[in-house]
Amino acid sequence: MTQTPSRHDDLSALIVDIIDTPEVRNALSRVCGQWFEKWSAQSVLKKAAAGPASWLVEKALASGKNPDLNAVFEKPEHLEALVNEIPRMLKGLDGVILSVIRALESLPIDRKKAMIDRLFSGSQGGRESRVLPALVRMAEEVYQGDPVFLSPRILPLLERWVAQTDFGELKSLFDTARDDVDALLKGLADLVFEYPAKLVAVLSAVPDTLNLLLSTSERILDHVNTMPPDILTDLILGLFRGLDARTVGRIIHRINEIIRQIHTGSTLIGEMDAPQFTMEFREKIRDFIGEIDPALALKSRNALIDGRETVLSELITALEDRPELLNLWLSHLAAARNADIRLFKRKIQVIETLPEGDAVSALAAGLSSWNAYDLGETVNAVSRMMNRIHRAHPGVLGSLITEFVSTLDRYELEETLNVACRDIGQTVRPVFRMAAPYLVRELCGFFEPGEDDDGYDEAMDAARQRLAGLFTPREESER
């Protein structure tokens, strides 16, 4: 009965084949020679025995069956043995890596640079460029037979990590160490500013980094601009077609549902006419406003306004030197408004396609939802404010209007009105003649006394007398 070889037998066979390669034999030969030399350094008898022993070892290592080290790992049984031992090897590799790093840190800078140069010089054989394609081909072959090959192997690891990790302890640790973390971050901030030269050195790298990103972006865009329009468009459309629109729609739906649930829950746990979120937000706003200096905030706002004005003013000044850009902008001035008009027309057309009863009900519901009460109160508040201004400073509004009127060029305004009325009048005349009878009829009805005296009959009568005198011919009024 044939016995299946154990893992240790496979590993032993792998080690034997590795030793039997020219690379390892040459290394072992040099190591053995140096070891025999060191071993026999302090003894004549050992020197006498070291010579023949070293010769026997070199003779045994002079020839082997395996052509090179790469051929060893091409054998499937050796690959399987190596994969079986990798997890255990990785566990002990952390200490080795740490020891290597510590040893590298202790080396002089010249030796460090020399070792790095040797590392890079050893990777110029061109084989590394074939590693990634080989891995890609292997992954494609695996996924063709098993599209979810990796997830059932990673998820158990994550599950064990989640199951074995006490997140309650992590939260408790965070809560307990919050003050310490806060103190650490504050100390770090203070420490950074204690060394301003280092801070300046770090911050001075920011523009260079941004410039590097900008130059890289420019180079990429430059190459993109050299692509033929049809290929570029097909590339962009390919990326757009690959977008999962259904998933995007479901995400928006989930977000809408979350917002609705928060609003509903806030209403349920809050007080009457005061949702909980509104109350919490009000408290936060009060705390937020309480820490702000109003005068400083106003100065900051004015500074931002001045900065915006300066930027726009300089931009307009720069456009003076490029009148073709300004003319191009003026020629497309109505493009945005035309788009808005077309969209509004499209909305109306869609509304017209709805069933008449549903459309009328929806429009009626939309109109009835307008808050006319608050709109009226807004007008009242504005009126009260204007009256208070007039009572406290009677000349403010008058001087403002006077300054505006005195600034107008009446001759230019007269010519504008003359031209506009003459050009527009003939076009608007049919519409005005259609609408004027209804407007005049209703307007004249405003001057007639009502059934109930609302207190304005006397004033309306005086206004009617003045209008009558205005329309009465001068000769008849003089008689």
Q: Which tens digits make up the pLDDT trace of 88-122?
A: 666 666 677 778 777 877 878 788 777 767 766 65
> If pLDDT is split at 50, 70 and 90, which confidence band does 233 have?
very high
pLDDT at 127 over 90: no
Question: What is the predicted pLDDT for the residue at 2?
Answer: 45
- pLDDT bin (cut points 50, 70, 90) of residue 160 is confident
By CB atoms closer than 10 A (0-12, 13-18, 19+), residue 69 is middle
**Contact status, residue 65 vs residue 24, Cβ threshold 8 Å:** no
Mean pLDDT value across residues 403-424: 90
Report pLDDT digits (tens) over 135-153: 677 778 778 878 888 888 8
What is the percent of the chain with per-residue pLDDT over 90, rounded to a whole number?
22
pLDDT of residue 77: 63
From residue 91, alpha-carbon distances to 8, 78, 88, 163 in Å are 18, 21, 5, 21
**Residue range 297-315: average pLDDT?**
93
pLDDT at 104: 75
Opening angle at CA 380, ends 377 and 382, nearest 5: 110
Whole-angstrom Cα distance, residue 225 to residue 231? 11
Q: What confidence category does residue 455 fall into, taking pLDDT thresholds of 50, 70 and 90?
A: confident
pLDDT at 304: 94
The mean-pLDDT minimum among 114-123, 124-133, 438-447 falls in 124-133
Of 19 and 372, more confident: 372
- 250 pLDDT above the threshold of 80: yes
Locus of tokens 């396609």: 353
- pLDDT for 308 equals 94
Instruction: Give dist(CA 202, CA 195) in Å, integer.
Output: 11
| Region of poorest pLDDT, from 124-128, 311-315, 428-432 | 124-128
Residue 376 burial (10 A CB sphere; 0-12, 13-18, 19+)? exposed
Question: In the structure, what pLDDT confidence band is assigned to residue 258 with cuts at 50, 70 and 90?
Answer: very high
Check pLDDT > 60 for residue 124: no
What dihedral do alpha carbons 298, 300, 306, 307 form, nearest 10°? -160
DSSP-assigned letters across all residues of 120-156: HHTT-SSTHHHHHHHHHHHHHHHHHH-TTSSHHHHHH
Q: What is the mean pLDDT of residues 61-67?
A: 60
- Please state, in angstroms and rounded to a whole number, the distance separating the CA atoms of residues 213 and 221: 12
Lowest mean pLDDT among 37-51, 213-227, 407-421: 37-51
| Residue 143, token pair as written in the block | 């996924």
Produce one character per residue of 2-30: b if its CB has 16 or more CB atoms within 10 Å, e if not.
eeeeeeeebeeebeebbebbeebbeebbe
Alpha-carbon Rg for the chain in angstroms: 44
Highest mean pLDDT among 141-150, 160-169, 363-372: 160-169
Taking all residues of the chain, what is their mean pLDDT, rounded to a whole number? 81
Q: What is the pLDDT of residue 1?
A: 43
Two tokens, residue 298: 């106003």
In terms of pLDDT, which residue wins out, 91 or 184? 184
Token pair recorded at residue 362: 């929806």
More confident residue, 69 or 352: 352
Residue 47 confidence (pLDDT) above 50: yes
pLDDT greater than 60 at residue 125: no
Residue 279 burial (10 A CB sphere; 0-12, 13-18, 19+): middle
Do residues 397 and 390 make contact, with C-beta atoms less than 8 angstroms apart?
A: yes
Pick the residue with more confidence: 449 or 239?
Answer: 239
Higher pLDDT: 275 or 77? It is 275
Position with higher pLDDT, 270 vs 42? 270
- Please report the pLDDT score of residue 156 as a whole number: 86
pLDDT in the model for residue 72: 58
Tell me the DSSP string of 235-299: HHHHHHHTS-HHHHHHHHHHHHHHHHHHHHHHHHHSBTTB-HHHHHHHHHHHHHHHTS-HHHHHH
Q: What distances in angstroms separate CA 250 from CA 247, 257, 333, 431, one per listed residue?
A: 5, 10, 38, 50
Q: Which tokens is 282 given?
A: 């009000």
Q: How many residues does the chain have?
A: 479
Which of 51-60, 110-119, 156-165, 253-262 has the highest mean predicted lDDT (pLDDT)? 253-262
> What percent of the chain shows pLDDT beyond 70?
78
Per-residue pLDDT band for 473 (boundaries 50, 70, 90) equals low
Cα dihedral 111→116→118→123 (10° resolution): 170
